[in-house]
Every structure is written in C-alpha cells, then in structure tokens.
Structure 1
Amino acid sequence: MSATLSAPRFTEPGVFGRVAVLLGGSGSEREVSLQSGQGVLDALRSRGVDAHAVDGVPALAQAILAGKFDRVFNILHGGDGENGVVQGLLEAFGIPCTGSGVLGSALTMDKIRTKQVWMSEGLPTPRFARLAPGADLHAAAASLGYPVFVKPSCEGSSVGVFRVISEADLQPAVEFAAGYAGELLMEQMVRGDELTVGIIGDIALPSIRIVPAGEWYDYHAKYIADDTQYLCPGMSPEDEAEVGALALAAFRAAGCSGWGRVDVMRDIERGLQLIEVNTAPGMTSHSLVPKAAAQIGMDYAALCWRVLEATIPVEVEAR
C-alpha cells in the first residue's frame, strides 16, 4: 500500500484513559529506551494524554495489579519489552498495549527463527548459520564464506555485532561468543544499500536509505554520530513500491501488528534481502520511524498518537 494515512480516529485525549509509558528496564538497551520513552512521554502529554513513565517490567506489574493504568505505550527496547513477556502479562490482565502481540513479539526478537519463517514463506533473506554456545565460528564462517556478520540472535541496537571481512577479523567475535550464553547468528554480509521501512498498521512508510560516514551502521552511527545521512525516500518510486510490499509481507509473516520497523538490504547481485524486524522501534532524536513519518507530514506527536490509537479496536469505536 502507498504511504497514505487516513485521519485519526479520535481527537479527544480522554479516550485513552491513564497511559503507562513503559521504558528503561534492566537490559542492554536501557539508555536508548529511556531516551525513546522520554520523547514519547513528552509528546503524549503535549497532546493532553494522561501519560506516566514506568521504568521496567516489575514496576509495570505492580502498577497493573494496583489498577493504575488503562493501557500501555510500550517503548521498552529489547529483552522482556519485545520478547512477548510484557505482551503476555498485559494480555492476561486485559490491558491494551501498543505494537505486536505475544507471537509477533517473541518470534521477531529471535532473529534466527524469524529468518526461518521468512524462508518458509519464500521471502528473501541472506544465508546464515545458527551458532549454539560453544559452536566453532571458524568452521561456520568458512562454510558460509566471508565476509559475514556475527550477532546475538536476541539482542538489538547493534549490541554485540561484529563485522568480519576475513578470518583475521574473527577473533573479537570468538572472544565475545566465549562469554555469551545465548545463540549467535552468523549471516552472509550483504553488499549494497542499507534500508529501513517503518510500518503503521497496514501502511508502509517511505523507506530510509542509511549512509553512515564510517564503513557500516554500528551503535555509534545509530545513536551518537551526527554525520550519518538518512535519505527519505531512499529509492525510486518504482522501487519504493517493491520494498514497501516486501516489508509488509515480512511483517505479517512474522505475526506482527500495530507498528514496527523492517530492516532491509539491497544486495548489488541478489536484490532486496530481509534482515530483521523491530517491534518497539527507537523513538529518539536519531530514530528512523519518526523520520519516515515526517516525510508524509506526520510529526512526532502525531505519530505517537497514531500508535497509541491502535490500542483501541475499531469495533469499540463503532459502539
């Protein structure tokens, strides 16, 4: 679908009741989540929403048991914020939450299983190897062929990601793997454009082509550097239609809903290749979904409103 959104369904902030903005937590993405959450909190309050920050899942559970909130804007990046734990907790208590449900959240938090689903659906994604703890990274890289990326299967924000051009570059990843308890994904490196596509409901926002000043889009380029270029739309009109359709297909195949972001690479030989899905995308000053929304005239506060609005089913509105 083209990136054309209908008018908001609601105009009065009172329809949302008391809203918890879930942020922070104890995971590796805490600092980014705090930044995103503060932005969302300020934006919702600027529109009159009765929004309050809640730091982490234990605090949220206590607040829900005390009956303090009517719905949750989940901006807890990684960990229990995106792996289905928060979604299951809230579903059990009948509290609406932004973003995907238990299935889509749990699946896409695991990059390996997401790629397995995409492959079963015939969707394009780079060849990869699943590395259990203790696996031989040298043998896996030799089998896939250099260059490769090595990354934790269940982390985000470029945490623990290694770019390995040749065997001589592999040692840092080997050392990381030795102290990491979870599975690692080793993936063939895609040479070409790095793209991301924001999703709101059934709409694919204009793609963003990411051009870092350095060799690749690492944590520094994402959250610290001011010289990373974000070109939006990132492709020609014809290619925009193709990447938007692919992103929506990938999002739906993984059981996702509400809003999110699909990361895609355009390989110079193999064309578009799906990388991963983020079900609680960043909402910092450097984040990509707000940039794409702005391209179609939706400012930050309006984006937050639209995401929160999706927690109210259409059938409730029609009563």
Structure 2
Amino acid sequence: MAKPANLDPSPPTQRLVGYARVSADDPFNDTQVDELRAAGCHRILQEHETGASSARPVLTKLLKDLTLGDTLVVVRLDRLARSVSHLLEVIENLEKRGVHFRSLHDPIDTSTPQGMVSLQVLSAVVQLERAVIVERTKSGMKAAKARGKLAGNPGLRERRPEAIRAVSLARERVYLDGLMASVETWLPTVRQLRPQHSWDDVVLILNRRGHDWTVERLRRAIHRMVRENLVEPELLLRSPRRPPEHRLMQVVARIAIADPDLSLRRIAAQLDQMHERPPRGGRKWQPSSVRVLLDDARRLGFMRS
C-alpha cells in the first residue's frame, strides 16, 4: 500500500550566499572569504573593483538571482552598500522577494527579530539625519537674512560662468550617485527587455514591481549611464515595430515578465480582469491560450526562454 503524501512538508533549508567586495591591493580579500565560508555560505561571489568605477556587475547579477528563502551574507555593511540609504534600499528590495540579509560584523540579520529592530533603528537614524540637515539649512538661511546677507551662491547671482558650470557638474554628480544607489533594483530588468521591448513596456513592468518610473525619466537615466560608459549603448536602440496582431502577445509577455511566478491560470485570470478578449473567441481566457501566446512571445523575442 502506498504511503500517503506528505501534506505538511518541512520548510526548505536556508541557503547562505556570501558576497565579498575587494580591490586589487586589498589584503582583506582572503579574510572576507574565510569568514563567509566559516559562517556556512555554500556559495561565495567576489567583486573585484577596477579603478573609480562604481558599477558592480557581480552584485547586480547576484541580487537578481537570489530567490525566496536565500540569505545574502556580507562580512561588513560597507562591503555591500555605498551609503546607509543605499543599504536600506537594497535590503527593502530583498525583503519584498523573501530574501534575508545578514552582516557578520554588524547587528543586522533580517531573519531575526533583533536584527529587524536594529534595521529599524538604522532607518530612523537616516530620517533624523535628513531632518537635521533640512533644519540647519533653514536656520542658516534665516540667520543670513537677519544679517542682511542674501542666501545662496554669490557667483550664481552674478551669473559667473565658472560658478554655473560648477553647480551643473555637482548636480550631475548627485544625479548619477542617486541612480547608482538603486541601480541593482531596476537595471537588470532594463537590460533584459531593451531594445526588444518599447520604453512604455519596460516602465509598465518596472512599476508593477514597485518602482515609480516614467518613460522620460528612465530614458534620461539610461542616456546618462551610457555617457558614463556604465551600460551598453544598445539599450537606447529603437525597439522594432510590431504588427497589430502581436498586441495580445505583448500584453501576455508583460504580465509574465513582471511576475515570473504566475501560473498560466493566474495570467488568464488577470487577462479576464483587464477585459481582454481571447484570440479564439469565448468569454474567458484558458491556460492553453496563454501558453500558446507565451510560446510565440519567446519564439519572436518578446521574452527569454
């Protein structure tokens, strides 16, 4: 007699994935790998920095590949993030996907209540720091006004070219730093989709994953990163024109790319909610029709196999 199926399987074993970021002349390299291995990491990826480049292709791919139940482990927080705000953004994105984060030398472990409390304290400190900076700026402007001085840069008021140029460069640097702080959360998707998909499709998929892009802002971001040689110019190529009969295929592909875990039946349910008419008639979408469109989408390059 066959044994009954196990209706309450035990949860999967937690996978620890280590990440080490080192420079060519950094003796900390071996120590990081040894500590990560001793902590139980079954897989360790190393990022070797080159010059002043802020791009981290190994980390970008790792953050994309981590799946539900994984734990990303680093030796210290500065091995992962460039700033506290960047750290919080990365961890928030991981938590949304059911991936935990642990730093061996810091009290941060999102799989434990104590670690989550430490993370909340860190987030509160960042918010306090921003508030203090804003308050100090307002107080400084108020004090300058009381002394009869005009707030701001005298060079800008006098329209000096060197002052205007310096401010413009500073703004561009701040803009690029802001892009790089979040690049791991959106650039892999852009690379996956462009230029086969239109900018509208890319923005739709990113925003379904919790982002807040517009076509204009995303194109500007990619243009800026191309000028800095941080991404491939091919991302800016014009997307191919698609025949009108490909519209349903695009819709199905967008849904599947935005949420790869959706079953055929759930995609069909979403199409019903969107009031899309099945290609072969009828009132409701069937999983078989979704499968045909997905197969065609992969064959024609709308999405990867």
| Structure richer in strand, relative to its length | 1
RCO comparison, higher one (Cα < 8 Å, 6+): 1
TM-score category, normalised to shorter length: under 0.3
| Structure richer in helix, relative to its length | 2
Q: TM-score, normalised by structure 2?
A: 0.27
